[in-house]
Amino acid sequence: MQIVGGQESGTSNQKESASLDVLGFVGSGEGLIPTQDNLTKLEVGKAYYQLGKLHYDKADLNKAEVNFLKAIDCAECPQDNYRVLKILSFLIRIAAEKLEDEKAEKYISHSEAIVNDLQENLGSLSAEYFYYSGLIKSYRTDFDGAYQDLDLSYNKSKEENDPDLHSKCLLALANNAFNRGQFELSLEYMGQLDNLLKIINKEYLGGSMHMTYGKIHMATGNIEASLKHFNLANITLQNKKCWNLYGYILLGIGQVQKVKGDYDRATLYYNLAKQAVDSTTFKRLTNVLDAEIHEVNDSSVDIYLDRNNRKVKEKNIGVIDFKHRFVLLEILFLLAKNRGSFFDKEDLAREIWKDEYNPLIHDKLIYTSISRLRKLIEPKDNSNTKRKYIIRGKDGYTFNPDVKIRYQMETKLTAGKAVANVDISSPV
């Protein structure tokens, strides 16, 4: 697995300098000023946009925002409406990452006003119109309405023979299906996008595609495929010298490791991600990473139960694999989900073995199973008379209600919930 840090190379800086010369800029850093002697207002605006995109790719969100706003100031609407919509999409993503609700709301409202103006004044609506209309509805969490517009854009972009817009529609539709829990449909769109990107060269979109693949496969439990695509996202975006998604790639790999039950490696990737990003601007990502690290290392949690991957992590023992211990896992989850409730032999025979209790069959089976389960999960310093987890009373067995349990460790993006329901990797 190849993970390379987001350090700028001399080659990247040389390319930046060359591009600025072509765009007619003098100075360096924040002091870059367009030389307007021979440039129109439109050309100056395009130059500011290119600078904004350059800083955006390099993960300098503050400089990107400054230049994007200057690009909008140079726009002349209505003829530049679509260009402004594209720039606003970048600004919304920056505000979402910086958790700046008021700015995001302002940019979304501006986008809505432009879309409404286009609808009122255009004789016919293009694929590009429906694409941005769909994105804006996504910002408002109207996923059904967004799907209708994005699907129209998808079909119109084919009619208009616009492969670039068609590719962005496919990624937007895949994200839309993912947000609606339709993972198979999401994978269908991703398959079409994968085939299209073999024909057209759009590396940044390719990186976003692999990240989306990673999220879908993680949600459906295909862990190895998820890890493969996060690594492909890393390689693809490094080829473009693009670092703004590097922290999110490390986050994704860490989440895959967590689902696999390798909590030490998950923590390693989370900490690498924290070191790789500027926490003062990547606030959403930083919040998510802090929540993930806290979840994995929460010392107050006695035992983690991961049913999907058939793993248990006990605070003192570590990770315990239950892949070939199905009956023991079922007993553990039955008791843990009903802490404080006692299950006698009749209950266990019915719930675990789906049989009516027969002492000749079940007495030894239950005793042996409980004994094996205790040996697996009970800390070694506990005596047989003082069990930490599985307690026996006169009414049967129960799970200690005083211990702290956490169930299957899932990704918790709500800790850094994106403003406007977007993150920096979503399509523009």
| pLDDT at 203 (0 to 100) | 87
Q: At what angle do helices 101-121 and 127-139 cross, to 10 degrees?
A: 150
Amino acid identity of residue 401, one-letter, is P
Query: Of the candidates 272, 296, 238, which has an alpha carbon nearest to the alpha carbon of residue 415?
Result: 296
Q: How many CB atoms lie within 10 A of CB 98?
A: 20
- Is there a domain that residue 99 lies in? yes
Task: Examine residue 254 and state whether it is found in any structural domain, yes or no.
Answer: no
Q: Under a CB-based contact definition with an 8 Å cutoff, are residues 318 and 369 in contact? A: no
- CA pair distance 126, 156, nearest whole angstrom: 7
Residue where a domain terminates, one of 122, 150, 180: 122
Of 278 and 2, the structure prediction assigns the larger pLDDT to: 278
Question: CA–CA separation, 112 vs 142, rounded Å?
Answer: 14
pLDDT digits (tens, 9 = 90+) for 108-129: 999 999 999 999 888 889 999 9
Please name which of 32, 126, 101, 98 lies closest in space to residue 71, comparing C-alpha atoms.
32
392 located within any domain: yes
Domain that includes residue 47, residue range: 8-122
Identify the residue whose tokens are 């089976």. Answer: 365
Contact partners, residue 285, CB within 8 Å, separation at least 6: 97, 247, 248, 251, 273, 277, 416
Q: Which two tokens mark 85?
A: 């919509």
26-30, 287-291, 306-310, 312-316: range with lowest mean pLDDT: 26-30
Q: Any idea what the CATH number is for the domain that residue 19 is in? A: 1.25.40.10
**113, part of any domain:** yes
The residue from 78, 99, 122 where one domain ends is: 122
Handedness of CA 111, 181, 188, 96 (dihedral sign): positive
Residue 33 has pLDDT above 80, yes or no: no
Write down the pLDDT at residue 417: 52
Domain membership flag for residue 307: yes
What mean pLDDT do residues 279-308 have?
88
- The Cα–Cα gap between 390 and 401 comes to 10
Q: What is the pLDDT of residue 12?
A: 46
Residue 225 pLDDT > 60, yes or no? yes
Residue type, 184: E
For residue 110, tell me if it sits in a domain: yes
Q: What is the mean pLDDT of residues 55-61?
A: 96
Confirm whether 259 is domain-assigned.
no
Number of Cα atoms under 13 Å in the Cβ half of residue 419: 22
| Residues 358-385, mean pLDDT to the nearest whole number | 86
> Considering the chain, what percentage of its residues have pLDDT values greater than 90?
65
**DSSP assignment string, 324-341:** T-HHHHHHHHHHHHTTT-
Domains held by the chain: number: 2
Q: Quick check: helix, strand or coil at residue 101?
A: helix
Read off the pLDDT of residues 381-417 as tens digits, 9 standing for 90 and up: 655 556 789 999 888 999 999 998 887 654 444 444 5
Region of poorest pLDDT, from 15-29, 41-55, 199-213, 268-282 = 15-29
CATH of the domain at 345: 1.10.10.10
Q: Is residue 61 part of a domain?
A: yes
Residue 293: closest CA among 261, 267, 316, 269: 267
CB-count exposure of residue 300 (10 Å: 0-12, 13-18, 19+)? exposed
Cα separation values, 131 from 48, 170, 177, 190, 427, Å: 24, 10, 15, 17, 10
For 332-360, give one letter per residue: b (16+ CB within 10 A) or e.
Answer: bbbbbeeeeebbebebbbeebbeeebeee
Domain final residue pick, 97, 122, 147: 122
* Residues 246-285: tens digit of each pLDDT: 999 999 999 998 877 788 899 999 999 999 999 999 999 9
Comparing 83-87, 210-214, 240-244, 275-279, the range with the smallest average pLDDT is: 240-244
| Cβ neighbour number for residue 203 with a 10 Å cutoff | 15
